[in-house]
Amino acid sequence: MKNFLQFIRMFAVTGICFVLSAEPAQSASYQGDVTDVRVIRQVDQHPDSWRVWQPVITQWKKNHLITAFGAMTHGKKDMGDIFATVSRNDGDSWEEPVVVFDHNKWQGDIQFAYANPVLFKPEDQDIVWCFAMRCSIKQENSEESYLVAAFTADGGRSWTPVELAMHYTGPLITNATIIESQIKGRPRYLLPAHRNTLASDPRGSRDHFILGSSSLLEWELEAFIPQPESPRVFLHEGNIAPGDHPGELKIVMRTADYDDTNKTTDPPRAYSSVSRDGGHRWSDAREEPDLHNAKSKGFFGRATDGTHIYVYSDGPAQRDLSWPGFPNGGRTSLRYKTKASGGNWSAEKTFYDAGIKNSYPTLVEVAPGEFRCVWDSGTANTARTHIQFGKLTLKP
């Protein structure tokens, strides 16, 4: 009995320590329109990783949020493990994360690593899906990946892996969430992705495409995003949202020079394409003259009232040191623009600026005009040392 009581005391102390360790740190002083900024996770909480990156967020139920992120394994350029963490108080505090995809778990004789989580909650299901990329850990980078998935039925506390039926068999790179659409009168899930086989194969290509599914389990190639007539552009990491007109879908994409990805487009701009048949056919990609993009993921979405929002990294490309005022290259402050339905893009606004590196924002609307946001953050000189959360209210 005495030993049992000692065990209970030890468990209670451990539990108290667990809760305290799960409390997120307050963010350093900053400028910008996001509020309630919290540090969700730091890289030093993952001893076998050297970066934390590419967070995504979704809402399970009111005030119940789920964030997934990657922890980059030592020695790898852009892959590792995928974790998920839960907040039950609208982002004020976050629980200890659980692993969704673990690079230490072998599949037979093959060891995989993972990247780029995508969270999606279907409107008619009380489950949340996590899609990600799986790649042999022997690869130099994750550009030879294929799609994997897991789901949670308890709000993100546990995850069940699922093997997908893939009719698209090429490599892919995920980035943005799935949207629900209809093609020829039938419900259809659309997942934006791209491939970069030209990086390792002189006869390869850099293509943006859309995967389609009627079940979330079986996927096929739905469409390619057509290249502009001239010059070709490396279109990648696009976000799909409802467009400017009824029944229209629009995708806004990150860009780079097609042949030399060390270069931005000239000038550095995002490109877009539209579909008027539910996502089966898309227009030729074209420059968005008001939307800056210098080789970094942006977020494009639409609020309930029809307002579009675009969040992006300002300045030059990541390793471009030639711009005045950016001695450590780009991906520093996050900026954003909004556009009312039928209107024009606003002037640039500050999303988050703390004199440190920030990139890869993802937002989810939890109430009309109310967004919950995550992004990876760092120091003035080092990228992706921690994951941050904030709230954004769109103002008329």
Q: What percent of the chain has pLDDT over 90?
A: 85
Structure tokens at 346: 């606003």
Rounded CA gap, 48 and 43, in Å? Answer: 9
Structural domains of the chain, count: 1
Q: Does residue 4 belong to any structural domain of this protein?
A: no
Q: Write the DSSP symbol of residue 207.
A: E
Q: Does residue 252 lie in a domain region?
A: yes
208 lies in some domain: yes
Decide if 79 is inside a domain. yes
CA 253 to the chain's CA centroid: 13
For residue 173, what are the domain limits? 33-393
Query: Would you say residue 8 lies in a domain?
Result: no
Rounded Cα distance, 256 and 83, in Å: 29
Contact 181, 167 (CB under 8 A): no
- The pLDDT of 327-334, averaged and rounded, is 89
- For the stretch 43-58, pLDDT in tens is 999 999 999 999 999 9
pLDDT at 3 over 50: no
- Ramachandran angles phi, psi of 4, nearest 5°: -65, -45
Q: Say what the pLDDT of residue 395 is.
A: 85
pLDDT single digits (tens) 73-128? 999 999 999 999 999 999 999 999 999 999 999 988 999 999 999 999 999 899 99
Question: With left for phi above 0 and alpha for psi between -120 and 50, is residue 18 left, alpha or beta?
Answer: alpha
- 308 occurs within a structural domain: yes
| Residue 356 placed within a domain | yes
In b/e form, how buried is each residue of 261-299, taking b as 16+ CB within 10 angstroms? beebbeebbbbbbbbeebbbebeebebbeebbbbbbbbb
Asked if the model's pLDDT at residue 172 lies above 80, the reply is yes
Tell me the DSSP string of 9-28: HHHHHHHHHHHHHHSPEEPP
Residue 15 within a domain? no
Question: Domain of 144: which CATH number?
Answer: 2.120.10.10
Confidence of residue 26 (pLDDT cuts 50, 70, 90): low
Joined tokens for residue 148: 């994997």
pLDDT in tens, 362-371: 999 999 999 9
